[in-house]
Chain A
Amino acid sequence: MSVLGDAAAKAKGAAQQVMKKAIEVAPDSWMPGGRPDPLIRRQHGHVGQPVSRLDGRVKVRGEARFAAEVPMANLTYAALAYSTIPKGRMTGIETAAAEAAPGVVLVMTHRNMPRLNPPPLFMTASKAAAGDDIPVMQDDRVYWNGQPIALVLAETQEQAEHAASLVTVTYNEESAVTSLAAGKAQGTEPGSFQGEPLKIDIGDAEAALAAAPHKVDVAYETPRHNHNAIEPHAATLAWDGDNLVVHDCSQGVAHVAWSMAQVFGLKEDQVRIHSPFVGGGFGGKTMWSYQVLGAAAAKLSGRPVRIALSREGVYRSVGGRTLTEQRVALGAQADGAFDAIIHTGTVAMTAHNALPEPFIVATRSAYAAGTFKLDVEYATLDMIANTFMRAPGEAVGTFALECAIDELAVALDMDPIALRLRNEPEKDPTSGTPFSSRNIVEAYRAGAERFGWAGRRAPGQRREGDWLVGMGCATGTYPYYRMGGGAARITLHSDGRALVGIAAHEMGMGTATASTQVAADRLGLAMDQVTFAYGDSALPGEVLAGGSQQTASIGASVMAAHQRLVGELLKLAGNDSPLAGLKPDEVESADAGLRCVAAPDRFESYASILGRAQRDEVTVVAEAPPPLEMQHWSMHSYSAMFCEVRVNAVTGETRVSRVLGSFDCGRILNPKTARSQFRGGIIMGIGLALMEETQFDERKGRIMNPSLGEYLVPVHADLPVIDVIWNDIPDPHAPMGAHGIGEIGITGTAAAVANAVYNATGKRIRDLPITLDKLM
Chain B
Amino acid sequence: MAIEINGSQVPVPDDPRVSLLDLLRESLHLTGTKKGCNQGACGACTVLVDGERIVSCLALAVQYEGRSITTIEGLSDGDALHPLQQAFIDHDGFQCGYCTPGQICSAIGMAAELRRGLPSHVTGDLTAERVPFSRVELQERMSGNLCCCGAHNGIIDAITETFGEVAA
Contact = CB atoms under 8 A, between A and B. Distances in A.
Interface string B81-97: 10001101110101111
B96 A507 contact: yes
23 contacts: A56-B97, A57-B89, A60-B81, A60-B89, A66-B98, A158-B17, A158-B18, A232-B35, A232-B36, A232-B37, A280-B95, A280-B98, A311-B41, A508-B95, A673-B92, A676-B92, A681-B150, A708-B37, A713-B148, A714-B152, A715-B144, A716-B140, A716-B145
A672 interface: yes
B146 A508 contact: no
A716 B36 contact: no
A677 B71 CA distance: 28
B97 A64 contact: yes
B139 interface: yes
Secondary structure at the B interface, as helix, strand, loop or mixed, is loop
A61 B38 contact: no
Contacts, number: 181
Contacts of A445: none
A231 B25 contact: no
B156 interface: yes
A708 B153 CA distance: 21
Contacts of A308: 35
Contacts of A715: 143-144, 146, 152
Given A61-B32, A158-B15, A52 B90 contact: yes
A316 B96 CA distance: 23
Contacts of B148: 228-230, 280, 282, 713
Interface string A333-351: 0000000000000000000
Contacts of B149: 230, 280, 508, 676, 680
Interface in A471-526: 507-510
A683 B150 contact: yes
A65 B92 CA distance: 20
B88 A60 contact: yes
B81 A508 contact: no
A62 B153 contact: no
Contacts of A53: 89, 92
Interface in B1-33: 15, 17-18, 22, 25-26, 29-33
A60 B90 CA distance: 11
A713 B151 CA distance: 13
A71 B94 CA distance: 25
A763 interface: no
Nearest to B95: A508
B31 A708 contact: no
A672 B92 contact: yes
A510 B95 contact: yes
Given A52-B90, A676-B150, A716-B156, A59 B34 contact: no
Nearest to B29: A71
Given A61-B81, A71-B29, A230-B36, 12 more contacts: A59-B94, A156-B15, A231-B98, A277-B97, A279-B34, A280-B148, A675-B92, A676-B92, A717-B122, A717-B139, A719-B153, A721-B153
A714 B139 CA distance: 11
Across chains A and B, which 3 residue pairs bring their CB atoms closest together, nearest first?
Answer: A62-B32, A508-B95, A680-B150
Nearest to A162: B17
Which of the listed residues B38, B92, B140 has the most CB atoms from chain A within 10 Å of its own CB? B92
